[in-house]
């Protein structure tokens, strides 16, 4: 089954969220061997996924991934005062 570049981009995106069926994996692999643009797109998707998992992490930060970080009341007040000045 030959997939178009548009279909490949959808399937590659899906592969980040679920396991692909064997025929999907084979179709993607064959297409990516022949199409440099889709190879680049697939790599960019994987890099974006990895970057999004690491975003917001700071060395020495004791918050766990996914934990909401909020500003103190004092910080919010200072920000609001600065916004009102402008």
List the one residue out of 15, 23, 4 whose CA is nearest residue 43. 15
Domain ranges, ordered by start, for the chain: 1-54
Predicted pLDDT of residue 17: 87
Predicted pLDDT of residue 49: 84
Q: Which of 34-38, 45-49, 57-61, 79-83 has the highest mean pLDDT?
A: 34-38
Average pLDDT of the chain is 83
> 64: pLDDT confidence band, cut at 50, 70 and 90?
low
């Amino acid at each position: 089954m030959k997939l178009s570049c548009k279909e490949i981009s959808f399937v590659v995106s899906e592969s980040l969220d679920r396991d692909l069926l064997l025929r999907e994996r084979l179709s993607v692999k064959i297409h990516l061997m022949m199409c440099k643009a889709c190879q680049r797109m697939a790599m960019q998707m994987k890099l974006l996924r990895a970057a999004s998992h690491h975003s917001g992490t700071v060395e020495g930060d004791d918050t766990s991934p996914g934990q909401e970080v909020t500003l103190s009341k004092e910080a919010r007040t200072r920000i609001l005062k600065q916004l009102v000045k402008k």
